[in-house]
């Protein structure tokens, strides 16, 4: 009687038969967890460990190694799988097709499980935040990373040292996202690194959003693909600010109603339109102004956009944390900060989030902020790789809270108050309120 083999069994047989097929399948994303049959999961777990250790992958060696690991894998079964691949040579020739079949089936299983999970939760709690749960379900449906992550130091160090030497020789540029502010990049040893969570804290009126937009524009000018999630302002409002900074045309002139009425204003308007249409339009920046997004939603959106280098979120207090209404503000902020940190690590990009400082900063002159002024700062500070605090003395002078000392100019002081990969310090920049732009002094 002819034995019928599943796609999973045929693929595994080809992988056992040919080392190159096995490595190619690994590269396509085939891991033990993508198989539905438990016995195949156990077999491929053993085979993957043997490959990592450089052991020969054949029936007797598999049985012996499996026995030491607490698994019972029969040599006859392994031989049958290999024979099935020999009898169906097209599997080895077209193993990529079989990889896709196995991966697609696994994706469908994950989708069903994710949907069932949301339904079960909603049945238990009808007040459930469906948007947040669906966003989490979408994350669960995403493909796991195909690339190998981690390894023994002996395996990791050679590649790392190759990168170091290439950097020293000027052959390879580190995959940082520069802020475009010289003093800040110097303290941060070149810029923001993949996997870092950067928190920018300030009181209202200091220029948090302008600062974030400036960093987004600076990064995009260097070819970095940026996503801005704005829970506070609409996309048109952000475009108004960003275009003012990009073109140098004050926002008040952009807003000016009616015909120009003056040649100079007309020239500025035409210059603004030309610069935006011919230059700014090419900046690789995506704006999402969804109200109260979850971190799961942001992660899914960034993944779907693909090849994103930098994410900005404005701001922490407006995230949908997915917790129930009885959760304390500290618990909510802690969860959002932790989720953003995991997002940066998972996507391997820097994530910058804006945070409102509490009013305690204005109970002592000259109102210079510190880490203790972060709202529910303990957990935010703990999760952040870098914390930047913004201060504008001119704002407090204009509000009548500080006396005018005669200093000319409006300066935005950036305090690097926490920096895991570099030094702390203060960087002074010039703030131009009419154009919402920030420049080196």
Quick one: which of 388, 343, 387, 313 has its CA closest to 195?
343
Longest dimension (CA), the chain: 97
Residue ending a domain, choose from 172, 201, 225: 172
**Do both 397 and 433 map to the same domain?**
yes
How confident is the model at residue 2, as a pLDDT? 59
**Do both 162 and 181 map to the same domain?**
no
Tens-digit pLDDT profile for residues 246-267:
999 999 888 888 777 788 888 9
**Do both 157 and 225 map to the same domain?**
no
Whether 357 contacts 203, CB under 8 Å: yes
Concatenated DSSP letters of 398-441 = HTTSS------S-EEEEEEEEETTS--EEEEEEEEGGGTEEEE-
**Do both 168 and 190 map to the same domain?**
no
How confident is the model at residue 439, as a pLDDT? 93
H or E element in which residue 302 lies: helix 295-305
For 193-227, letters b (16+ CB in 10 Å) and e give bbbbbbbbbbbeebbbbbbbbbbbbbbbbeebbbb
**Do both 168 and 182 map to the same domain?**
no
Length of the chain: 441
Give the span between the Cα atoms of 242 and 229, in whole angstroms: 14
Residue ending a domain, choose from 156, 172, 188: 172
Give the span between the Cα atoms of 82 and 186, in whole angstroms: 58
CATH code (residue 62): 1.10.860.10
Whether 29 contacts 107, CB under 8 Å: no
Q: Which residues of the chain have a pLDDT value below 70?
A: 1-3, 130-132, 134-151, 171-174, 322-325, 375-378
Strand partners, 283: none
**Do both 219 and 123 map to the same domain?**
no
pTM of the model: 0.70
| Backbone angles phi and psi of 257, in degrees to 5 | -80, 145
H or E element in which residue 38 lies: helix 38-53
| Backbone angles phi and psi of 54, in degrees to 5 | 75, 25
360: which 2 tokens? 């305690």
**Do both 305 and 208 map to the same domain?**
yes
Whether 289 contacts 274, CB under 8 Å: no
Quick one: which of 328, 426, 333 has its CA closest to 384?
333
Peptide bond into 366 cis (omega under 30): yes
CA angle, residues 144, 341, 223, in degrees to nearest 5:
80
Strand partners, 313: 229, 353
CA angle, residues 378, 382, 384, in degrees to nearest 5:
120
For 407-429, letters b (16+ CB in 10 Å) and e give eeebbbbbbbbbbeebeeeebeb
**Do both 76 and 183 map to the same domain?**
no
**Do both 270 and 378 map to the same domain?**
yes
Q: Which domain holds residue 361?
A: 175-440
**Do both 106 and 128 map to the same domain?**
yes
Contacts of 296 (CB under 8 A, 6+ apart): 132, 135, 136, 138, 139, 322, 339
Query: Count of alpha carbons within 13 Å of 315, Cβ hemisphere only?
Result: 23
Strand partners, 198: 352, 386
Peptide bond into 315 cis (omega under 30): yes
DSSP 195: T
Give the span between the Cα atoms of 120 and 126, in whole angstroms: 10
Give the span between the Cα atoms of 45 and 437, in whole angstroms: 54
**Do both 266 and 345 map to the same domain?**
yes
Query: Domain count of the chain?
Result: 2
**Do both 205 and 163 map to the same domain?**
no
CATH code (residue 230): 3.40.50.300
How confident is the model at residue 334, as a pLDDT? 83
How confident is the model at residue 1, as a pLDDT? 47
Residue ending a domain, choose from 172, 196, 227: 172
Strand partners, 415: 389, 426
């Amino acid at each position: 009687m002819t034995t019928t083999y599943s796609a999973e069994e045929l693929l595994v047989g080809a992988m056992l038969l040919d080392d190159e097929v096995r490595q190619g399948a690994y590269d396509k994303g085939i891991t033990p967890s993508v198989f539905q049959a438990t016995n195949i999961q156990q077999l491929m777990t053993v085979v993957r460990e043997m490959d990592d250790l450089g052991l020969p992958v054949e029936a007797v060696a598999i049985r012996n190694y499996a026995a030491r690991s607490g698994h019972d894998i029969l040599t006859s079964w392994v031989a049958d799988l290999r024979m099935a691949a020999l009898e169906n040579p097209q599997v080895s020739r077209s193993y990529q097709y079989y990889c896709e079949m196995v991966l697609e089936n696994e994706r469908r299983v994950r989708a069903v499980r994710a949907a069932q999970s949301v339904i079960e939760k909603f049945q238990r709690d009808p007040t459930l935040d469906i948007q947040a749960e669906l966003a989490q379900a979408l994350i669960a449906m995403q493909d796991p990373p195909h690339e190998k992550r981690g390894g023994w130091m002996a395996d990791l160090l050679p590649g790392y040292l190759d990168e170091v030497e290439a950097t020293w020789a000027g052959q390879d540029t580190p995959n940082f996202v520069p802020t475009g502010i010289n003093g800040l990049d110097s303290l941060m040893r070149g810029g923001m690194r993949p996997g870092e969570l950067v928190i920018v804290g300030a009181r209202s009126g200091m220029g948090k959003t302008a600062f974030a937009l400036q960093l987004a524009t600076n990064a995009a000018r260097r070819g970095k693909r940026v996503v801005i999630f704005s829970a506070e302002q609409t996309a048109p409002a952000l475009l108004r600010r960003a275009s003012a900074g990009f073109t140098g045309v004050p926002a008040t002139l952009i807003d000016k109603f009616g015909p120009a009425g003056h040649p100079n204003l007309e020239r500025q308007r035409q210059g603004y339109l030309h610069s935006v249409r011919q230059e700014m339009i090419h900046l690789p920046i995506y704006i999402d102004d969804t109200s109260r997004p979850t971190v799961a939603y942001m992660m899914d959106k960034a993944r779907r956009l693909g090849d994103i280098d930098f994410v900005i979120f404005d701001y922490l207090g407006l995230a949908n944390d997915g917790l129930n209404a009885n959760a304390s503000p500290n618990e909510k902020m802690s969860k959002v900060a932790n989720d953003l940190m995991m997002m940066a690590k998972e996507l391997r990009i820097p994530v910058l989030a804006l945070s409102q400082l509490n009013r305690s900063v204005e109970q002592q002159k000259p109102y210079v902020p510190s880490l203790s002024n972060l709202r529910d700062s303990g957990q935010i500070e703990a999760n952040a790789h870098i914390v930047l605090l913004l201060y504008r003395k001119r704002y407090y002078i204009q509000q009548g809270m500080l006396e005018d000392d005669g200093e000319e100019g409006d300066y935005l002081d950036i305090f690097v108050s926490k920096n895991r990969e570099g030094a702390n310090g203060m960087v002074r920049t010039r703030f131009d309120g009419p154009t919402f732009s920030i420049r080196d002094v």
